[in-house]
Structure 1
Amino acid sequence: MKSGATVILGLVLGGLVACCQANAFSWGWCPTVEVMNDFNITAYFGRWFEILRFENTEFEEGYKCIHADYSARDDGLVNVVNFATHENNGVSRSLEGFAFAPNPKAPAKLEMNLGSSYFIGDFWVLDTDYENFAMVHSCDNYFFFNYQLNWLLSRTQTLETGDVQDALREFEDAGIYVTSFIESDQTGCSEF
């Protein structure tokens, strides 16, 4: 009986180690991050292109030219439409959903739902100047580890190297592992 329990415990711990080695998973709780206090969702509306994202963002793997449009809806929610083009066959896809700030006193702590999913995830704006860049964070705790995703977005398909480095320093200061970021492919994209 003891050896069976030891094997099961070993398999569970091995599985946790394997999943935590994936860059979106980390040991411990989500980092405590500061979001913008004076976030203005209306100023955020419009198109944002993905410049950097966390590696192992499964729902984005195999896609390039990723961007999203944000706009007002009649019901007070934020309309969100994500676009992407498959790297191999060039087929484009879009996914529509909505976002909202559950606490009006924390307008940068948005919750987002995309497609027909019932899952609502964090979409926290850490920083933005509304005209050039936006830093977005999402994190959920699971037992002894967390699953987090982070994005650096831009109003254009490229962002100056200095601006990217500044954003990475800001992510790092927030306790986010910047080695987990990969560059998004915005080359060879059709006109939007």
Structure 2
Amino acid sequence: MWWVCFLLFLTPLVSAQTLRCGACPTIGVQSGFDLYRYLGRWFEITKLPASFESGKCIEANYALREDGTIQVLNKQMWERGRSIEGTAVVTDPKEPAKLGVSFSFLSPVGTYWVLYTDYTSIAVVYSCTDILRVSHVDYAWILARSRFPSEETMRNATEILEKAGVKPCELIPTDQTGCLDDTM
């Protein structure tokens, strides 16, 4: 019975996320993933709802640090510009497409799994947070190297997410219009 109270407590915290029953699913990631080719600037094109992303012109920049970790710099236009810096690490060298990301030494490390990327135009990313193996919160993103990828590229990326169990109708587009790179 305690877990019901716990879940009721968590519900407001995940209300803007995609809460599902059961533990996180097992999802395959890109084999032969090359982290060095993945580094650089990516624009968020669409995503599952996430309360921490409510702005427009959302982008992420990944850069290798001297200590081997990856600097994650997320930016979004929200009133005036807003950014947050985090750290990503490869959690298992045998599966380099599975990264752990944290934006504060107080926050737990979240999953960041690259399901697919061609490195030059599109990336499909999935994350899942398990809640006592009773439920889980899904996050998913389609990222692109340009703010406006082709329809065919988006169709292919959406199909990859659908195969991973993400319903395309749940994805919300990120507004990439009117973005001024020097305001963030």
Q: TM over 0.5: same fold?
A: yes
1:167 aligns with 2:157: yes
TM-score by length of 2: 0.88
Q: Which runs of 4+ in 1 moved over 6 A?
A: 18-21
TM-score by length of 1: 0.84
Where structure 1 has 5 or more consecutive residues not aligned to the other structure, the ranges are none
| Aligned equivalents of 2:18, 2:69: Cα separation in 1 | 28
1:75-154 superposed matches below 5 A? 75-86=67-78, 89=79, 91-115=80-104, 117-143=106-132, 144-154=134-144
Question: Deviation per CA, 1:150-187, whole angstroms, max 9, x where unpaired?
Answer: 00000000111121111111111122222221000101
Question: Deviation per CA, 1:108-132, whole angstroms, max 9, x where unpaired?
Answer: 0000112454321001100000000
SS in 2 for 1:58: coil
The answer (yes or no) to whether the contact 2:17–2:51 under 8 Å persists in 1 is no
| Aligned equivalents of 2:142, 2:62: Cα separation in 1 | 16
Where structure 2 has 5 or more consecutive residues not aligned to the other structure, the ranges are none
How many percent of aligned residue pairs carry the same amino acid? Answer: 34
SS in 2 for 1:59: coil
| Aligned equivalents of 1:160, 1:182: Cα separation in 2 | 17
The answer (yes or no) to whether the contact 1:67–1:83 under 8 Å persists in 2 is yes
| Aligned equivalents of 1:160, 1:154: Cα separation in 2 | 10
- Alpha carbon RMSD of aligned pairs, Å? 2.5
The alignment of Structure 1 onto Structure 2 pairs a total of residues equal to 180
Deviation for aligned residue 1:23: 5.3
Letter in 2 for 1:84: Q
